[in-house]
A and B are shown apart, each in its own frame.
Chain A
Amino acid sequence: MKTSIFDLENWREIGATLSRNKTRTFLTAFGIFWGTAMLAMLLGGEKGLEHKLMSNFEGFATNCAIIGSGRRTISYEGFNKGSYWSITTDDVEALRNGIPEIDAIAALYSVGGISVTDGSTATASMVQGVSPDFPKIFLPVIYDGRFINASDENASHKVCVIGKQVSEKIYGTESPVGQYLSVGGIYYRIVGVAGQTAEVQVGGAKIDEEVIIPMSAMRRNFNLGNSAGDVCILVRQGISPSSLQPRIERILGRAHHIHPDDHNAMFFFDIAEQFEMVEHLFAGVTLLAMFVGISSLIAGIIGVGNIMWVIVKERTNEIGIRRAIGARPSDIVMQILSEGVALTVVAGLSGIVFSTIVLAAAAKMIGPGFDLQLSTALGIMVTFVILGTLAGLIPSLKAMKIKPIEAINDK
C-alpha cells in the first residue's frame, strides 16, 4: 500500500506533477542549476587559478632571498656617496659562517651574449657561474648527466651544464654529455643538461637558455677577481629571510664601509615575501569564491523550499483528494519531498555538467588545473540534495497535516 522511493510509479507521478507547471519548474530548476554551476566553477576554477599563479614559483625553494651589491647612498669612512661596492667570496663565507639560519648560500654571476660553439654550430648564450649550493635554491630539472658539484667548484674544473634549449640547438637530440664546448673561446667539458619549471628568471634568463659553469671557473676565466656577483640564500624553514636582513647588512656593511643607515646600498629581494603575498591574495580570492558560491547555494535552496511551499498551498485541494481516496500522510510527504529532490538532482547535475564544460574551455585557454574533481562535484551534489530535502521538509510536513475534509470543503 505504501509507495516507495524506489517505485517507478512514484517517479512517474512526480514527473507528471513537475511537468504540470513547466515555467515555474524551469525557473526553480534554473536557480539550482545556476547555484551548482557557480559553486562548481568557482571551486574548479580556483585550483586552476592557483596553479597559474603558483607556477611562477614552482621548482623554486620559496624561503629564500637574493642579495645584490650596488652603490653607497651615504658617504662613509672615506667612500663617497655613489661609489660602487661588490660582494666577494669572503663575504659569502662570512655570511655562511656568521648566520647559522642560512641553510644554503650560492653566488651567481652571469654574463650575456657569449659565443658558444662545438666547432660547427655556434650560438650566443648567457653564461652563469654558480656555486655548488645553487641547485638547493633553484631546484633545476636535470635532463641528462649531473649538475655542478663542490669538487668542480673547489678545483675550478672547466666543466659546464648546458640548458636544454642550448643543447637542442647545438646537439639536436643527441646527448652532449662528455662533449667539449667552447664558451667564449675556452673549452669546457659538458657534464649535464638542465632546465627549470619555474617562470621566474634569475640573472636575466631561464636555465634552459644558459650555460652554467662553476663560480670559481667563472671568476678565473672572466677575470672577476674575488667578486661573487649576486648571492642567493636559502633560509631555514620557519624563519623569514627579511628578518635576517639587519644582520646581513651589518656583516656586509662592516666589510665594505657602508653607513649603518644606508639601506639602499644593498639590494635585498625576499622571495618568500612575494610568495606569501600571492598566497594571501589567493586566500582572499578563495574566500570570496566561497562566499559567492555559498550565497548562490543558499539562494537555490531557498528557491526550492519556496516553490515546494507554493506547490503545497496551491495543491491543498489536490492533496485533500489524494488523502480521501487513500493516500497515507507518508505518501504525501514522500511525494512533495521527492519532487524537491528530483528537481534538485536534475538541475544540480545539469549545473555540474555545464560547469565541467566551462572549466574544460578555461583549461584549454588558460592552462591546466581548471577541472572539477569528482569528489568536489559529488560533494556539491550531496550538499544540494541534503539541503534541498531539508528545504522541502517544512512544506511537506505542512502538506502532511492537510485534513481531507477541510481541503475538499475549500472549494
Chain B
Amino acid sequence: MITLKDINKTYPGAAPLHVLKDISLNIGRGELVSIMGASGSGKSTLLNILGILDGYDSGEYWLDGKLIKNLSENRAADLRNRMIGFVFQSFNLISYKDAADNVALPLFYQGVGRRKRRALAMEQLEKLGLADRAHHLPGELSGGQKQRVAIARSLITRPSIILADEPTGALDSRTSKEVMQIFRDLNSQQGMTIAIVTHDPGVGEQTNRIIRISDGRIV
C-alpha cells in the first residue's frame, strides 16, 4: 500500500533542519502499524508526507501504486480526499457544524448531494455507535465521542489508508482503549490499512507492527 524509498526532508530556514534521513519503509495492505519515537524525532513530519499534506526533498513515495511527487495543490487535494482519512490528536472538527455535517464534509468536496451525504454520514456514525449524537455540535460531545466523529469522517470516503497522529493523546486511558478498539476492528473486520503515530507504548502494543523512528531514521 505504502512504499517509501530514501525519503529526505529538510525544513529550510536560518538553520535548516534535516528531519527525515533516508527513510525507506513498507506498509502493506491491511496492516495496522504504529510509528513511535521520541518527541521531535520526525513522526508527524513523516505522517504529513504520507498524508500528502507536505512534500519531501528527495526519494520516492508510492501510495496504492501511484507515485506521490511534485503534485499540484489541486491534485494533492483530490488524492487526500479520496485516498486518505485523517485522525488528529485535537480532533479538528468544525465547531459550528453538527456531527453528521462534519462527517459528511469530505463528500461535499466530491460534489455529493446533501441528502446522500447526510445519509452516508448517519450510516457511518451508527457503525461507531454515535447515531444519537448525530445532531450535536462538537462542543456538546466528550473527547472520546469527538474522536469517534473524526474517525467516522476519515472513513466516509472509503480511503485506502487511515493516518492518525496521536489519536489518543487527548483522551483518558479508558477512552483510549475504546478508540484503539475501533481501529483494531476496522483493521481486522474491514481490512483497513491504518498507521498510528503515538507515544503510548500501550497503543503501540495493540498494533501489528511498531515502526521506531529516532532522530529522523528508522531503527
* Interface, chain A (partner B; CB < 8 A): 1-3, 7, 9, 12-13, 16-17, 20, 317-318, 320-331, 403-405, 408, 411
Contact = CB atoms under 8 A, between A and B. Distances in A.
A17 B97 CA distance: 9
Given A322-B105, A326-B82, A411 B92 contact: yes
A325 B80 contact: yes
Contacts of A317: 92
A3 B53 CA distance: 21
Q: Which of A13, A20, A321 has the most CB of B within 10 A?
A: A321
Contacts of A326: 77-78, 80-82, 106, 109-110, 157
B48 interface: yes
B65 interface: no
26 contacts: A1-B81, A1-B110, A1-B111, A3-B108, A3-B109, A7-B111, A16-B96, A20-B96, A318-B94, A318-B95, A320-B92, A321-B94, A322-B105, A324-B51, A325-B153, A326-B78, A326-B110, A327-B109, A328-B77, A329-B73, A331-B77, A404-B53, A405-B53, A408-B88, A408-B92, A411-B92
Contacts of A1: 78, 81, 109-111
Contact of B111 (A3, A13, A16): A3
State the 9 A-B residue pairs at the shortest beta-carbon distance, nearest first: A326-B81, A326-B109, A20-B96, A411-B90, A328-B77, A325-B106, A328-B74, A321-B92, A405-B53
Q: Which of A322, A328, A403 has the most CB of B within 10 A?
A: A328
B86 interface: yes
Contacts of B82: 326
B105 A9 contact: no
A323 B48 contact: no
A328 B86 CA distance: 17
B136 interface: no
Q: Which of B48, B90, B94, B157 has the most CB of A within 10 A?
A: B94
Given A9-B111, A405-B53, 5 more contacts: A2-B111, A13-B108, A325-B80, A329-B74, A331-B77
B113 interface: yes
Interface in B110-125: 110-111, 113-114
Contacts of B51: 324
Interface of B: 48, 51, 53-54, 73-74, 77-78, 80-82, 86, 88, 90, 92-97, 101, 105-106, 108-111, 113-114, 153, 157
Contacts, number: 76
Contacts of A330: 74
Nearest to B47: A405
A331 B88 CA distance: 23
B48 A405 contact: yes
B54 to A, nearest CB: 6
B12 to A, nearest CB: 14
B77 A323 contact: yes
Contact of A328 (B73, B96, B114, B153): B73
B143 to A, nearest CB: 14
Given A12-B114, A323-B77, A326-B109, A405 B97 contact: no
Contact of B80 (A324, A329, A331, A403): A324
Contacts of A12: 114
B129 to A, nearest CB: 22
Contact of B105 (A2, A20, A325): A325
Contacts of A7: 111
Contacts of B96: 16-17, 20
A331 B106 CA distance: 12
B113 A9 contact: yes
Contacts of B54: 405
Nearest to B85: A325
